[in-house]
A = this chain, B = another copy of it.
């Protein structure tokens, strides 16, 4: 009988990984992240395209920034947001592909 060696993650890493995936586990955040796949977006355009209140979007954007899933920059009176890096982009894209193409 085969008993492969199982090396479980330590608790701290498991919590961090769970938190990363949790940032993708809300439908509004999913819609925001999906809108950022093609590149940086103006927050005003995002609010308009999602048809949600500015305060609801701002709340989720803050939460995504806190978890370093997105980054933001100001230009004059406008704010632009983008996915934080290529890893986040690929990770999210794979989840999206899995659902859309199965």
Contacts and interface: CB of A to CB of B under 8 A. Distances in A.
B27 A14 contact: yes
Copies in the complex: 2
**Most chain B beta-carbon neighbours within 10 Å: one of A13, A14, A45:** A14
Contacts of A42: 3
A95 B88 CA distance: 8
What size tier do the contact residues of chain A reach? Answer: 35 or more
Given A87-B94, A94-B87, A98-B91, A17 B30 contact: yes
Contacts of A54: none
Interface of A: 3-4, 6-9, 11, 13-22, 24-31, 34-35, 38-39, 41-42, 45-46, 49-50, 87-88, 90-91, 94-100, 102
